[in-house]
Amino acid sequence: MEKIYDLIILGGGPAGLSSGLYAGRARLDTVIIEKGIAGGQAATTSDIDNYPGVKNAKGPEISDVMRNQAEDFGTEFITGDILEVDFSQEIKKVKTSSGEYRGRAVIISTGARPKKLGFPGEEKYTGRGVAYCATCDGEFFTDLEVFVIGAGYAAAEEAIYLTRFAKKVTVIAREPEFTCAKAIAERVLENNKIEVIFNTEIIEASGDEMVNYAKFRNNVTKETWEYKSGENFGIFVFIGYEPITEKFNGHVKMDDKGYIPTDETMKTDIEGVYAAGDLRPKMLRQVVTAVADGAIAATAAERYVSELKRKSGESQDEKSKPKAQVEKEAVKNKKLGFLKGEIAYQLREVFEKMEKEVIFVTIVDESVKKSLELKEVLEEIVQLGDKLELEVYKKGENPEIEEKINADKYPVVALLDSEGRYRGVKFHGIPGGHELNSFVMAVYNLAGPGQVISVDILEKIKEIDQKVNIKVGVSLTCHHCPDAVIAAQRLAIENENIEAEMIDVLQFADIRSKYNIMSVPAIIINDSEVTFGAKKIDEILQMLKK
């Protein structure tokens, strides 16, 4: 019989993780479906200093703690894109790229994405000077000047973060003052690397290959001024967010901006469906308000599910106890250097599902420090799965295998299937940060069972009958990058004509320079066409057919 969860949580940001924690404590059989790394926008925020009870918190760290808490109470995590939903019946259905799931209640917590301004040059120079994520792209602007567009929390916080890399940061705010908390605004105004220009808007950006010109207008005096530079500079846009709710259009009530209204219990207009976090219309969108929403939504969902079970005569305590802590601690206490105990435990859970063996092949160039580091990381990873093997060769030791996997950059690791065939999946860089997720999914998709893929998409992949190379330039701090890497590598796994390489472009200055990469993910097709931004399988397929 197909499993029915008590609660399905869509999105693993602070609201979703808080829901998972509260639902787990309430003994609901709960699953969180997240397309990428848990934590949402919090996982990409460098410093969080306004979360009560936690001083000087790092976004990724607090996100990891939230996930661990939810897991400790038995909440399950699944990686997948939401494709369709059906909330019309008592048992709700959610179709994802990882399969279809059914649940008695659903919490929608898919969050929000950065807005774009629409000024001339914004789209053209995205990835070549125009950016939207400081933690993803900030390092590309080391010793360059950057402009930050916006006056809210995100603009202020990211302006401070960018001073780690840029030689100067100029904040352009159309408002007469900051709209965020005074304490944060004061930190910006007091920073000697930041200049703030109020009542001003950007109206144009341009350049040659990269941004080196911008035009601005004072919205009070209507005067315009230009900024020209002999070198490249950056424009980071932080003007707010828009809700990620398209998949729920027609299934729950929304306002004219796409936000999902709820009552005080986070209930939508549909029985058993709740919404939490930044996709709700509200005054303040911060981690603290998101986790509050999640806690309330989970509590309301627990009451709803309990009433359903009472009416149907089902047991109120069918869920087994949380995972055995003895087993978990055994993995967490392994003597590992790169992989921390909690991460090791999560990886082992994935690797236990493998149906076939996967062989890692790494060619070590001893003159490259990262190549030696990659070998050590892989040696730790293979300890976590009985179906994982590692082959290590020094550069020049085995020319046949080097040719087989097209080893032309170091560090390098290629994935071979159980029959020793190279399946077109390579990583040039350490699979750490957010890219650990794409590495694990490459193993999972190659070994099986793998993420569910539609017959229609699979047929289109099989139609590609010419050799194609896809390079996905990433940074390990980019939360958008794994989506593009996973999509490209899935194409390679399904078609022997396709090769997909993950490249940590901060390690390869020649590639950054050759393709003018100032933002990630950067998708390079056959060493010529370059496209920026996260892409799904169908979008990359369209790029291949041009």
**Which amino acids are annotated catalytic?**
133, 136-137
Burial of residue 160 (number of CB atoms within 10 Å: 0-12, 13-18, 19+): buried
Residue 18 DSSP one-character state: H
Burial of residue 315 (number of CB atoms within 10 Å: 0-12, 13-18, 19+): exposed
Closest among 66, 70, 67 to 24, alpha carbons compared: 70
Query: Would you state the torsion angle of the CA atoms of residues 157, 163, 164, 166, taken in this order, to the nearest 10 degrees?
Result: 130
What is the per-residue DSSP string for 34-95?
Answer: ESSSTTGGGGG-SEE--STT-SSEEHHHHHHHHHHHHHHTT-EEEE--EEEEE-SSSSEEEE
- Give strand pairing partners of 202: 216
One-letter amino acid for residue 335 of the chain: K
The SS3 assignment for 135 reads: helix
Other Cβ atoms closer than 10 A to 201: 16
Which residue reads 């806690």 in tokens? Answer: 295
Kindly give, in sequence order, each residue whose CB lies less than 8 Å from that of residue 402, ignoring residues fewer than 6 positions away.
Answer: 363, 393, 395, 396
Which residue reads 């995972």 in tokens? Answer: 323
Residue 127 DSSP one-character state: T
Closest among 112, 76, 154, 480 to 290, alpha carbons compared: 112
Kindly give, in sequence order, each residue whose CB lies less than 8 Å from that of residue 361, ignoring residues fewer than 6 positions away.
Answer: 390, 391, 393, 401, 405, 413, 414, 415, 416, 422
What is the per-residue DSSP string for 426-453?
Answer: EEES---TTHHHHHHHHHHHHHSS----
What span, in angstroms and rounded, lies between the C-alpha atoms of 71 and 74?
5
Answer whether 45's CB lies under 8 Å from 63's CB: no
